[in-house]
């Protein structure tokens, strides 16, 4: 049902589009994470798509990150690991996809949403697309998305985001650190840039783009195991009373 979120896909003119939506700030519950990973994997093997655009619906937040409703309901380590493995599955699907992925970031993005932007191969953002890694404030930490963000932005920028978990960083800051490839003043300009780049890439050699992607993602072959290990850390820490108290307080504020 749409109230529980949705993943939609379509292809046209050799461009594959994946859109996710959730009424709570385009947050990502566990089922949506797995559906999103499946959509990326499906588009990876779709011969009608030479390039992929990943986007979320609306003009508000790009992605509010993990679903607080699910986080607060986690009662044991197994449930915790399973939830965070959803992010691992999405990031690994994006990493393994042989096609270049353009991420459209139209607004604020938190936690796992920053990971999605980082796992894309090219991110076009609106000037309102400030970013934050709030996980440490939840007594967890950005463990699963960390490798993707560190790869994209470097250790220094990643550590700044991870440690200062309560502050927003502007889109221009994110662009200067390499998270965003470009930023646009209006959403119309952003959509035009995304479409123009997608159309250009759709005409390029799929084999050449596949080779380029493999080069860009070198030294990440261990991520299947690495991200699972990170999900285990998050799955353990999310059980703390501090995490549940923070989420409960946040939701009631």
User: What pLDDT digit, counting tens, does each position of 130-143 carry?
Assistant: 999 999 988 899 99
- What would the mean pLDDT of 158-178 be, rounded to a whole number? 97
Range of the domain at 172: 2-186
- Residue 249 domain flag: no
* 241 pLDDT higher than 50: yes
Q: Is 182 exposed, middle or buried (0-12, 13-18, 19+ CB in 10 A)?
A: middle
Domain membership flag for residue 128 = yes
What pLDDT, on a 0 to 100 scale, did the predictor assign at position 252? 61
Q: Is residue 72 part of a domain?
A: yes
- Domain count across the chain: 1
- Mean residue pLDDT across the chain: 95
Read off the pTM: 0.95
CATH of residue 38's domain is 3.90.226.10
Please indicate, yes or no, if residue 129 is contained in any of the structural domains.
Answer: yes
Is 122 contained in some domain? yes
Q: How confident is the model at residue 249 (pLDDT cuts 50, 70, 90)?
A: confident
Provide the angle, in degrees to the nearest 10, between the axes of the packed helices 77-96 and 146-153: 40
Handedness of CA 148, 151, 152, 156 (dihedral sign): positive
Per-residue pLDDT at 151 exceeds 70: yes
pLDDT band at 1 (very low <50, low <70, confident <90, very high): very low
The reply to whether 136 falls in a domain is: yes
68 domain residue, yes or no: yes
CA gap 227, 144 in Å, rounded: 5
pLDDT of the residue at 81: 96
Residue 210 lies in a domain: no
Spatial neighbors of 119 by CB under 8 A, at least 6 apart, are 90, 91, 94, 95, 101, 103, 148, 152
């Amino acid at each position: 049902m749409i109230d529980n979120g949705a993943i939609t896909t379509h292809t046209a003119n050799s461009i594959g589009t994946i859109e996710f939506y959730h009424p709570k700030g385009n947050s990502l519950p566990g089922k949506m994470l797995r559906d999103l990973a499946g959509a990326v994997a499906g588009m990876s093997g779709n011969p009608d798509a030479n390039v992929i655009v990943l986007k979320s619906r609306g003009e508000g937040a790009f992605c509010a990150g993990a679903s607080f409703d699910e986080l607060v309901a986690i009662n044991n380590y197994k449930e915790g690991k399973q939830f965070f493995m959803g992010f691992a599955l999405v990031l690994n699907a994006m990493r393994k996809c042989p096609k270049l992925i353009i991420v459209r970031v139209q607004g604020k993005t938190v936690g796992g949403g920053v990971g999605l932007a980082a796992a894309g191969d090219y991110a076009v953002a609106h000037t309102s697309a400030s970013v934050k890694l709030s996980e440490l404030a939840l007594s967890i930490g950005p463990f699963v998305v960390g490798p993707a963000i560190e790869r994209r932005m470097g250790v220094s920028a990643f550590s700044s985001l991870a440690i200062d978990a309560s502050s927003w960083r502007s889109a221009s800051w994110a662009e200067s650190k390499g998270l965003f490839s470009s930023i646009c003043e209006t959403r119309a300009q952003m959509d035009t840039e995304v479409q123009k780049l997608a159309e250009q890439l759709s005409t390029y050699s799929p084999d050449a783009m596949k080779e380029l992607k493999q080069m860009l993602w070198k030294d990440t072959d261990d991520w299947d195991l690495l991200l699972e290990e990170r999900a285990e850390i998050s799955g353990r820490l999310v059980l703390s009373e501090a995490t549940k108290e923070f989420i409960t307080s946040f939701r009631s504020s």
